[in-house]
Amino acid sequence: MIVKRVFSKKILWTLGILFAVFIGLQFFANPVSNPEVNTETVIKAPDDVVAIFKKACYDCHSNETNLGIESKIAPFSWFVNKDITTARSRFNFSTFDTLSSVAKQGLVWEMVNMVLNNKMPLASYSAIHPKAKLTTNDVNRLIEYAESLSPPVYHDTTAIRLAMEQYDAVVASGKPLEEKLPVAATGIAYIKDFRNWQVISTTNRFDNNKSIRVVYANDIAAKAVKENQINPWPEGSIIVKAVWDIVEEKNGDILPGQFNNVQIMEKDSKQFSDSEGWGFAKFVGLERVPFGQTASYNATCFNCHKAAKENGYVFNIPLPNGELLPITDIE
């Protein structure tokens, strides 16, 4: 009987201390705050599209966060605050209209792909907020909206002229580029002889980034592709993507326009430990000007590449044989 009373006393004391700590924590709860919303800068999109964003994204990606009381209680509030701060730094619907048209298009396509790849809304969030789950109609409407922002331009005479001028200039100059290779802010140098590497795929994009591409792999990466040893990719893998603008015709033809850029991904887990070992670089134009002023460019690239996590964070590799569609002839 005495033992039981001492035990109960101990439990009460422990509970009391825990409660006191819990109350104390609330002074440091730091719940997320909502900065004032300026109607001038909020996203301008059709009402039904905004409604989709509001139900699935606004709690984290806007200054109109409206979560339950639990989000204001420490220690949960700390995690919520961290997630929302990160989400708002990626993009914020309350300040969306301050972005350039190009940036807005890019983000909308990224949203579509995050949704299609089940990366967003976060599973942990939709489990607690089932109303945030998107229906098939919602997803189709988002796709339709993204496509409406980036319509095709047929027989673009400017693109045709630029491509011809660039080709003529290269043929006329006939001189090789300087041997000194440019280096990107991420520390990755331009690779001169990638044209001799294995081509692993060709892609063309109809999103905000209309272009046609050829993707190359060095010996290590090419072997990894063929043997499907890409999760993770072996150290030393290098993938190079050559990108050209496109000339699009109404008959469906997609022809290469002027050369646009070369993009490089290098697997070096020591140097790029924050991005699953991948380092990124982009060299623009025939002058091969490094894109991105600081090494933080690596994080920007990696954020998008997270969509291809199942492919070891690489987008443009051929599908495994078992997933290829059978050959069809369009009549």
Partner 1 sequence: MKRLSNLLMFLVVLTGCKHIEDINEKREVFDAKGKQVYTVFANRMDKTMSVVYGNHTAVLAAASGLTGLNKGEQLTIVTYQEEIDPFWYGSNINGRIKSIEQLTLKRPEDGVKGWVYELVEGRRPKSKNGNLTTNFDRIQEILEKRPVVFP
Task: State which of positions 258-287 bind partner 1 (CB under 8 A).
Answer: 258-259, 262, 283, 285-287
Q: Which of 214, 238, 265, 301 binds partner 1 (CB under 8 A)?
A: 214
Is 244 or 278 the residue whose CB approaches partner 1 more closely?
244
Shortest distance, CB of residue 172 to partner 1, whole angstroms? 8
Q: Which of helix, strand or coil describes residue 99?
A: coil
Contact between 244 and partner 1 by CB under 8 A: the answer reads yes
Shortest distance, CB of residue 78 to partner 1, whole angstroms? 33
Q: Is 298 buried (19+), middle (13-18) or exposed (0-12) by CB count in 10 A?
A: buried
Over the window 71 to 110, marking each residue x when it contacts partner 1 by CB under 8 A and - when it does not, the resulting string is: --------------------------------------x-
Contact between 43 and partner 1 by CB under 8 A: the answer reads no
Distance CA 246, CA 240 (A): 19
Contact between 21 and partner 1 by CB under 8 A: the answer reads no
Q: Which of 49, 242, 265, 301 binds partner 1 (CB under 8 A)?
A: 242
Contact between 9 and partner 1 by CB under 8 A: the answer reads no
Shortest distance, CB of residue 183 to partner 1, whole angstroms? 15
Distance CA 85, CA 81 (A): 6
Contact between 47 and partner 1 by CB under 8 A: the answer reads no
Distance CA 131, CA 133 (A): 5
Contacts of 88 (CB under 8 A, 6+ apart): 60, 61, 62, 63
Contact between 195 and partner 1 by CB under 8 A: the answer reads yes
Is 72 or 141 the residue whose CB approaches partner 1 more closely?
141
Q: Which of 157, 251, 273, 293 binds partner 1 (CB under 8 A)?
A: 251
Shortest distance, CB of residue 182 to partner 1, whole angstroms? 10
Q: Which of 126, 201, 269, 271 binds partner 1 (CB under 8 A)?
A: 201
Query: What residues numbered 130-159 form the site for partner 1, per CB under 8 A?
Result: 143, 146
> By the 8 A CB rule, do 224 and 265 touch?
no
Strand partners, 240: 216, 264
Q: Is 276 buried (19+), middle (13-18) or exposed (0-12) by CB count in 10 A?
A: middle
> By the 8 A CB rule, do 256 and 218 touch?
no
Long-range contacts of 143-146 (CB under 8 A, 24+ apart): 143/112, 145/45, 145/46, 145/49, 145/108, 146/105, 146/108, 146/109, 146/111, 146/112, 146/207, 146/208
Query: What residues numbered 303-322 form the site for partner 1, per CB under 8 A?
Result: 307-308, 310-311, 315-322
Shortest distance, CB of residue 278 to partner 1, whole angstroms? 15
Q: Is 217 buried (19+), middle (13-18) or exposed (0-12) by CB count in 10 A?
A: buried
Q: Which amino acid is at 290?
A: P
Distance CA 133, CA 107 (A): 20
Q: Which of 66, 98, 202, 300 binds partner 1 (CB under 8 A)?
A: 202
Shortest distance, CB of residue 177 to partner 1, whole angstroms? 6
Stretch that binds partner 1, among 40-48, 51-59, 126-134, 163-171 (CB under 8 A): 163-171
Contact between 237 and partner 1 by CB under 8 A: the answer reads no
> By the 8 A CB rule, do 63 and 120 touch?
no
Shortest distance, CB of residue 46 to partner 1, whole angstroms? 20
Shortest distance, CB of residue 40 to partner 1, whole angstroms? 29
